[in-house]
Amino acid sequence: MARGDLSGVDRRLGVGQPITRRDFIGSTLVGAGATLLSGCAPLATTPQTVQTAGFHPWDGYGGVGDYATSNGNTQAVMDAAHVLRDGGQAGALASASATGETFDLVVVGGGFAGLGAAFQFHAGSEGRTCLVLDNHPVFGGEAKENEFSVGGYRLFGPQGSNGFMPPVGRTTLSDDLWRAVGMPMEYEFADADETFGMRLAHDSYDAMFWGEPHLDVGHYFRDGNGGRWVKNIWDDGLARTPWSDPLRRDMLRAFTGKETAHGMEGLGPWLDAMSYRNYLVRELKLHPGVADHIDPVLAIANYGFGCDVISAYAAYLLQLPGMKGYFTADTYDFSQIKIMSFPGGNTTYARYIVKHLIPDSIPGQGLENIAHGRIDFDALDRDGDPTRLRLGATAIDVRHEGDGVRVTYLRDGRAEQVRARTVAISASGQMARRIVADMPENVRANYAQFHHGAVLVVNVALNNWRFLHRLGIGAGRWYDGFGFVGSIRAPMKVGGLTAPHHPNLPTVMTFYVPFHTPGLHIDAQARLGRAQLLAKPYLDYEREIRTHMNDLFGSAGFDARRDIAGIILNRWGHAYIAPQPGFYFGGENGEGLTAPIKQGHGRIFYGHSELGWRMNYRNAITEGGRAGEQAAAALG
């Protein structure tokens, strides 16, 4: 699109504003190598929309650095995955060529679960070989980052997985792995030195619900004059909200009270027999508006959809409103935990694990190098190394053959095959049931009952955040338009690469956007949500985001044309398991849908975060690690 093709509205929104030449190189020269991305270049004179023609119109601008060609599920990743969805394996299998390689373990999936499987497999089987297949251009699953170069600063935002806490007072496999790979135990943030009179979150989830009482969060309400921001609505018992008295009363009951509707004995199966909405409205007799308010939080925080189709037990696991009365004084209280974020979300943890498994993968040592150093992609898949990581490899067929397993994957448009003595499936359930050819029928039937919600994560690089400082907030919630929440974070201190922390300097604002349609069956919501996520090209999303931000923040001096430096979209079509009633304690013998899957069969084992009942990095590592242990035990 040439500048002359832009409408007057586009020009006022800033569509077509210049971006750095470094940004252009980083988002268009796929596979050109990290050396092209070192150092800053002067501003280009070509408008962003002209440069947009140099990269995929659906993927859009990918930023700079190692992750510039791997922002969410790109078109290339989706096209490869859709070979499975559309039943196209037969042709690929017929033309597949064997690499001649045999590995003791092949792991399908390079996110936290797959990395956990590789780690735990080696923990109990020194000297054995492991190949991890990842269908993206960079490892990490949803634990990847977006990088911007703005005003000479390197800025980062999470593509998805975000929010962590160092091991505290208990031990899980994730805690053990944390220590084993050398992750720091203590972290500092820039707001310890200067707050600017604001309480900012250290991650992108805290302000949505759990940490909101301890942060400066604004709610945007429409009124006869257009709209108004109300800061910290809980400070005065919701008195400044436009809600009715009954809704205010029941919001306070749900969010601050400790009512219960059942004893602790048998609580799990009882909650799992109903939706969270039915629990709130029918059991606690709360105003339906309470469930409406929680819907997007539930959808984006862990489960993809709203209260009407998600098990009430899922809400219990997250300690959501109406559940606090079931927890004792010594319970792990989410609302009292300070959740933190690395600059690019949980990307840094994934990078530490990969460096532990493949020491040459990221040169140097220490937080600054491992978090922000460039990946040596040639070191990831090197002959002779005990762990190898093969990128851009989409598994399409896994089946027992003789005394081992044959694994077929697509890479660079070609089908390749390797042999494995054991396999750990650490990809999502919707992939697992399509690629394992000899999966037992009960496992396949249970996987067929897995539903997934779509999510869009957007990182907007800002030249400044003066508009938020004027409002006195670091995060905002709204009730119409694009998404429902957006926030900035206080930067983590990472040596000389610490991001700036001043309202006049650049930062990244992150938007987590769910796709749910209350009232429809969960299958219909899933299909519609993915259709909505995938239908728009990048430019349409860019227009929508710029328009929405002008609408929300214009009264505080925000101007999208002047203040936005770049926008990156991260589309995740199957981001979250959506556990319907019966997911946890239904099925045969009341053991839920996941128990038979975890047993594995033959030399194939399953370990991914969905099997841990709610998706986060801790459960992903635990479940992947279990599959790695099972594989090691099978080899004796």
Q: Mind giving me the DSSP string for 128-172?
A: --EEEE-SSSSSSTT--EEEEEETTEEEEEESS---B----SS--
**Tens digits of per-residue pLDDT, 584-628?**
999 778 899 999 999 999 999 999 999 998 889 999 999 999 999
> Which pLDDT score is estimated for 330?
60
Q: What's the pLDDT score for residue 301?
A: 87
Percent pLDDT > 70 in the chain is: 90
**Reduced to 3 states, what is the DSSP secondary structure of residue 342?**
coil
The per-residue pLDDT for 556 is: 97
What is the 8-class DSSP label of residue 5? G
Closest among 582, 575, 438, 429 to 513, alpha carbons compared: 575
Give residue-wise pLDDT tens across range 420-477.
Answer: 999 999 999 989 999 999 999 999 999 999 999 999 999 999 999 999 999 999 999 9
- Tell me the mean pLDDT in the region 213-218: 95
Q: How many CB atoms sit inside 10 A of residue 526's CB? A: 25
Res 333: pLDDT: 62
Alpha carbon separation from 286 to 67, 293, 311, 463 (Å, rounded)? 45, 12, 17, 43
Q: What is the dihedral of CA 359, 365, 367, 373, to 10 degrees?
A: -70
The dihedral of CA 316, 320, 322, 327: what is its sign? positive
Please give the structure tokens belonging to residue 304.
């993809």
- Rounded to an integer, what distance in angstroms lies between the CA atom of residue 428 and that of residue 450? 10
Task: Name the least confident of 242-256, 337-351, 504-518.
Answer: 337-351
Write the CB contacts of 409 (distance below 8 Å, at least 6 apart in sequence). 133, 390, 393, 394, 395, 396, 415, 416, 417, 418
The predicted pLDDT at position 433 comes to: 93
* Angle, vertex CA 337, rays to CA 295 and CA 172, nearest 5: 95
In sequence order, which residues have a C-beta less than 8 Å from that of residue 629 and are 6 or more positions away? 120, 121, 124
d(CA 398, CA 437): 6
| pLDDT for the residue numbered 126 | 76
Listed residue (250, 306, 302, 312) closest to 276, CA to CA: 312
| Per-residue DSSP letter, 545 | H
